[in-house]
Structure formats: structure tokens, C-alpha cells
Amino acid sequence: MKSAIKRLLPWFLLLLPLGLPVGAQTTTPAPPELEAKGYLLVDFHTGKTLAELNADERLEPASLTKIMTAYTVFRELASERIKLTDQVLVSEKAWRTGGSKMFIEVGKHVSLEDLLKGMIIQSGNDASVALAEYVSGNVESFANLMNAHAKRLGMTNSHFTNPNGLPDPELYTTARDMARVAVALIREFPEYYAWYSNQEFTYNGITQANRNPLLKRDPTADGIKTGYTKAAGYCLVGSAKRDDMRLISVVMGTPSPRARAEASLALLNYGFRTYESHKLYPVGQPIENLRVWYGEQDTLPVGPERDVVATIPRGQYDKLSARIEKTSDMNAPIAQGDQLGDVVVSMGEEEVTRIPLVALQDLPKGGLWRQAKDSVLRMF
């Protein structure tokens, strides 16, 4: 059935505007009840929210802050302003930072890669400060950079004042904002994200285990970060991938390490049991040849700007339908990548996802004869 539906979806694109039936709404099981101040479960590929509680309430992030710190450093690596092999001089401020430690030593040089692993795997507050000082000169300037990236990612309810999450009245975030940066980190930096699944890291002769309990309790889990302060409670941003489906869970303000782990597992298991994801059209695949006016040719192949993925309740795949919504202006010249409409996937009356539809090649304006012919055709 699944392969048949995939073959038929382009056919649906043509027939749905005629009003063919598309299936009924479905009821999904309620999410589990959790001991947490706030939580969120989202599908990585589609961003669909599968479960939530107080997902937009401002809460203290504790060491979840280090996800934003890592993302900020990864962006600097991508810009080639810094390199993994750079040797970072450890300041007294970094060395004296309290809480969880990587155990770097003042006055010594540590590679930037080791500092990242010390922060990601060992949750080193000292490593976080050393990274911030190296990237921006001081913690305050680095926090400004963190906030700039947060704003760009749409994290509208977050504000960062330090790179490690130590308590500060002006340091806050939400479960939804934490999911946003987690998705961005995995999508933009898969090569660095692999470090989050490392079970342990050794530096300066000291081996410390990864604090994420999901790595030992769920073989499909591969990240991301724990956090704890007395005010924030026990927090965890988790991620797991089963088959082609990846979920992001955010749990904040639980009363104990055990409650944190059990809540995260309950959310992930609920999501995987209740929902399924399907890639309907890969990026770059021609979906249709649209009629274009005044061009060197009459039609132009169009396809999705990115993968068209649908997250739906399990067992409802055959109720999916899709259509193209075209823009009104379909006149040459058109450049490759220009948006010409949307691919809209629905299930019953509910719109599941909407992805921009773009030109897959350039289409220059045609000669005078073609332009004149199309002008006449458009009159009729």
C-alpha cells in the first residue's frame, strides 16, 4: 500500500482540486502524564508538535545552555574564523568556574576540539568559559553572540547571560526554544553532533561518563544534553532516531534524575508508537511540468525546495493527499530556485505540511515570435 500511495501522489496533485475525497480525521492517544514543569516532543524533519506542556513558559535551562554554546561555536567553525586544532590558553576565570568540570588547568593550552568534547560529553563549565573567551574575548560578548543566534533561530523567549547555565536571574529559555536550537544543531552540524553519543571522554588522565541517561537506556538515542541546578530542577533534551524518523524531546523541571530519564523515555516512546513519518518527495525531484508564458519553452519542471516529509498518526498513510498551489505570475524569465507556489500535503481537512515549490532550472524569455504567440493564446 505504501509504495502504491507514493506512486499515486503525483496523480493526486492533479485530481484534488476537483474535490475527490481525502479521508477522515483520526483521534490519537493522549500523551503520558509527566512530572515536569514543562515539556515538548517534536518531529525533527517536520517540526510537528506531538506532545507539549507549558512549552512556552520561561524556565531556567541550567546546563541545557551548553547546547546554545556549542551551536554558537560550531557556527564560528563553519565560518572558518576558528579551527578544531586551535590551542586555547586557559584563563584563571575558566579554571575557577564552579560546578561540573573538565579539569583544565590555568595557564595551559587545550585544543578547541578537546574543549568542545569536554563541554558536550563531560558538561564542563570550565570548558564552556574557555570556549566563550576564545571566541569572543569574554563571557559577556559571547553571550551577546548566543543571543544573536537565538534571535535568528526564532527563540523568542530565551535570553543567555553565560555559556554554562550557572544561575542568573536574566538567564531563561523555554522547552520550545530548546527544541529549536537542538534541531538546528543536528541539521547544520551532523559531523559535530556525533560527539553527543560518545559514552565517555578522557582528559588530563580523568575519564568521565556522558551524563545523558538515554544513551544507556535506549539504543536509538544519540543525544543531547542534561542540566541541573536547584532552581531549574533536572532537565534533559533528548533525541532518538528509529528507521527514518527522528524525534526531539525536551523535559524541564523534573524532581529527580530518575524522573528526568523516565519522562524523556516516555515521551520518545509515545511519539514513535503513535506517529510515523514519510518522505513523500525528495528535494530536487520534479513533481510537475507547469505551463509558463513567454519563455523559450512552454513548460518548466518544478519540485520542492526541501524534502516533503509528513508526520501523521500511525496507520493513516493511505489518507494522505497532496496538491500544488501555484503563484499567479508564471511568466518568463524564471531563474532556478524561484518560488512558483507550494506543495500542500493534507489528511482530511487538516493541512499536514506546506513546502515551497521552486523552479528546477532556468527558463529565459523567448523570442518575439514566442512572446506574440503566448499573448494571443492568453487572450483565449
* Strand spans (E) along the chain: 38-43, 49-53, 87-89, 109-111, 200-203, 206-209, 221-229, 233-242, 245-254, 275-281, 288-291, 299-304, 308-313, 320-326, 339-347, 350-359
Percent of the chain at pLDDT > 90 equals: 84
Residues 37, 63, 91, 136: which is the catalytic one?
A: 63
pLDDT digits (tens, 9 = 90+) for 234-250: 999 999 999 989 999 99
CA distance 338 to 301: 12
Let me know: does 295 contact 334? Beta carbons within 8 Å: yes
Active site residue 326: no
Asked if the model's pLDDT at residue 223 lies above 60, the reply is yes
- Delineate the domains of the chain, giving CATH numbers in brackets: 2-24+280-379 (2.60.410.10), 38-254 (3.40.710.10)
Percent of the chain at pLDDT > 70 equals: 93
Average pLDDT score over residue span 361-371: 85
Asked if the model's pLDDT at residue 4 lies above 90, the reply is no
The torsion region of residue 123 among left (phi > 0), alpha (psi -120 to 50) and beta comes to: left
Per-residue pLDDT at 230: 96
348 CB-near residues (< 8 Å, 6+ apart): 22, 23, 24, 25, 26, 319
Per-residue pLDDT at 371: 72
Active site residue 123: yes
Per-residue pLDDT at 11: 37
To the question of whether residue 225 is assigned a binding role by annotation, the answer is: yes
Termini Cα distance of the chain = 42
Per-residue pLDDT at 370: 73
CA distance 327 to 102: 55
Per-residue pLDDT at 16: 38
CA distance 62 to 368: 66
> Which of 9-23, 117-131, 179-193, 288-302 comes out lowest in average pLDDT?
9-23
Most confident of 24-38, 121-135, 322-336: 121-135
Residues 37, 48, 66, 319: which is the catalytic one?
A: 66
Asked if the model's pLDDT at residue 335 lies above 50, the reply is yes
Average pLDDT score over residue span 343-355: 93
Give the confidence band of 367 by pLDDT, cuts at 50, 70, 90. Answer: confident
Nearest by Cα to 137 from 201, 66, 81: 81
Listed in sequence order, the DSSP H helices in 153-256 are 175-188, 190-193, 214-217
Average pLDDT score over residue span 342-357: 93
Cα–Cα–Cα angle for 229, 230, 233, rounded to 5 degrees: 75
Per-residue pLDDT at 23: 39
372 CB-near residues (< 8 Å, 6+ apart): none
Per-residue pLDDT at 98: 95
Asked if the model's pLDDT at residue 2 lies above 50, the reply is no
pLDDT digits (tens, 9 = 90+) for 159-189: 999 999 999 999 999 999 999 999 999 999 9
CA distance 189 to 361: 28
Per-residue pLDDT at 329: 76
Record the cell numbers describing residue 62, joined without a space.
541550567
290 CB-near residues (< 8 Å, 6+ apart): 299, 300, 302, 324, 326, 330, 340
Per-residue pLDDT at 12: 39
Asked if the model's pLDDT at residue 8 lies above 80, the reply is no
Average pLDDT of the chain to the nearest whole number: 91
Residues 91, 123, 128, 239: which is the catalytic one?
A: 123
Asked if the model's pLDDT at residue 19 lies above 60, the reply is no
Average pLDDT score over residue span 22-50: 85
Asked if the model's pLDDT at residue 13 lies above 60, the reply is no
pLDDT digits (tens, 9 = 90+) for 65-103: 999 999 999 999 999 999 999 999 999 999 999 999 999
Record the cell numbers describing residue 301, joined without a space.
519542471
Per-residue pLDDT at 26: 53
Asked if the model's pLDDT at residue 277 lies above 50, the reply is yes
